[in-house]
Amino acid sequence: MLTSMSRLPLNTLPAFRAAAELQNLRAAADALHLTHSAISQQIRVLEEQLSFPLFERRGRRVVLNPAGEALLRAVQGAMAQLDDGVQAAAAAVCALEQRLRVTVLPSFAQRWLLPRMHRWRERHPDLALEIDVSQQAVDLQREGFHAALRQGVGPWPGLVSERLFDAPMPLVVVGCAIDARRLLGQPPAALLREPLLGEREVWRRWFEAAGVRAQVTPVAQFNDMGLMLQAAEQGIGLTLARELLAADAIRDGRLIKLSPIGVEYETGHTYHLVYPPALRDWQPLAALRAWISDELEQSRQSLENADSNAS
């Protein structure tokens, strides 16, 4: 019987956890980028060292027995602590280099974050902000990031999540300020004669909210709101956009808001800043959180002022 922690083959624990959570050796092998035989060998080594089995084999599935369940709880907690330690160690290295790595959604980076970067540099001239743009939910620890801006309902396991907006962000109709100004004051049904950009279902909901029942056929759809707003600025068509992302273009006269009617679509899919718990009190991340909060408040006030001036 195992009597010493020094005899536990620690290198086998990732394979054990993956197999236990996925209940399939081949899936565990794919998740860890190993071969099926390598996963089987590591679990066999672990069981031999422990002197008792951890799994029951049921066809292609592997199911934990009571001993395996007890070990999994301990392994998950220990590896979570190790993950936090790695994040803290990486943060300590970056603190010496004064570098903060963040992965951000393309639309948010293009339409909101980048236009404000000069104010970040003025406020934190000695703290470099490295921005990676990705549509995917990046593994922060594996890819070496300190934080991410994500859109969704969460939760994101193992990460602290801070919702950036307390209020919903309805979608509003915007178009090229030069071409679409003629539509100001027109009834909502008039927009049906215009080229529309975006998802059919989203437009259907907007027209329904405006009291218009009609078949909608958009001329183009994009998988990124930044590209769709750029297309609207170039006069390709009207689009429904989150007002926050269109705010700068409306203020600068590149886009015009055509109706006060807004529609909430996927209202739970708002923006969150997520980061590892170990970095909660790390000074560079605290600086980023405070700066984003201040900038969002300025954006909110700018939108309120624009609505007041339009009414």
Give the closest residue to 50 by CA, choosing from 100, 104, 91, 9. Answer: 9
With respect to residue 226, please indicate whether it lies within any of the assigned structural domains: yes
Tell me the three state secondary structure of residue 112.
helix
- Based on the domain organization, do 247 and 175 belong to the same domain? yes
> Which span out of 70-74, 78-82, 268-272, 298-302 was modeled with the highest average pLDDT?
70-74
Tell me the three state secondary structure of residue 52.
coil
Q: Report the 10 Å Cβ neighbour count for 24.
A: 17
How many domains are contained in the chain? 3
Mean pLDDT confidence for 188-192: 94
- Based on the domain organization, do 31 and 65 belong to the same domain? yes
The CA distances from residue 194 to 121, 152, 176, in Å, are 42, 31, 12
**Structure tokens belonging to residue 1:** 């019987």
With respect to residue 199, please indicate whether it lies within any of the assigned structural domains: yes
With respect to residue 2, please indicate whether it lies within any of the assigned structural domains: no
Looking at 61, 85, 109, the residue that finishes a domain is: 85
With 90 as the cut, is the pLDDT of residue 61 above it? no
- Based on the domain organization, do 259 and 277 belong to the same domain? no
Mean pLDDT confidence for 125-140: 87
Domain harbouring 59, CATH code: 1.10.10.10
- Based on the domain organization, do 234 and 282 belong to the same domain? no
With 90 as the cut, is the pLDDT of residue 237 above it? yes
With respect to residue 175, please indicate whether it lies within any of the assigned structural domains: yes
With respect to residue 93, please indicate whether it lies within any of the assigned structural domains: no
Looking at 59, 85, 111, the residue that finishes a domain is: 85
With 70 as the cut, is the pLDDT of residue 3 above it? no
- Based on the domain organization, do 291 and 228 belong to the same domain? no
Measured distance CA(109)–CA(133) in Å, rounded: 7
Amino acid at 185: G
- The whole-number pLDDT of residue 2 equals 45
292 burial class (0-12, 13-18, 19+ CB within 10 angstroms)? buried
Mean pLDDT confidence for 269-280: 87
With respect to residue 1, please indicate whether it lies within any of the assigned structural domains: no
Measured distance CA(203)–CA(187) in Å, rounded: 15
Looking at 85, 110, 130, the residue that finishes a domain is: 85
* Element at 10 (helix H, strand E): none
- Based on the domain organization, do 69 and 217 belong to the same domain? no
Calculate the average pLDDT of the chain: 85
More confident residue, 152 or 83: 152
Q: In three state form, how does the secondary structure of 163-190 look?
A: ECCCCCCCEEEEEEHHHHHHHCCCCHHH
With respect to residue 27, please indicate whether it lies within any of the assigned structural domains: yes
- Based on the domain organization, do 128 and 190 belong to the same domain? no
- The whole-number pLDDT of residue 239 equals 96
18 burial class (0-12, 13-18, 19+ CB within 10 angstroms)? buried
Residue partners of 53: CB distance under 8 A and separation at least 6 = 47, 65, 67, 68
- Based on the domain organization, do 111 and 240 belong to the same domain? no
Give the helix ranges, DSSP H, for the chain.
13-22, 25-32, 36-50, 66-97, 106-108, 117-123, 140-143, 177-180, 200-209, 225-233, 243-251, 283-310
**Residue 93: pLDDT band with limits 50, 70, 90:** low
**Residue 96: pLDDT band with limits 50, 70, 90:** very low
Lowest mean pLDDT among 54-58, 94-98, 141-145, 288-292: 94-98
With 70 as the cut, is the pLDDT of residue 306 above it? no
With respect to residue 90, please indicate whether it lies within any of the assigned structural domains: no
- Based on the domain organization, do 29 and 52 belong to the same domain? yes
- Domain of 241 in residue numbering reads as 171-263
- Based on the domain organization, do 175 and 163 belong to the same domain? no
Tell me the three state secondary structure of residue 280.
coil
- Based on the domain organization, do 22 and 161 belong to the same domain? no
Amino acid at 62: V
- Based on the domain organization, do 245 and 302 belong to the same domain? no
**Residue 47: pLDDT band with limits 50, 70, 90:** confident
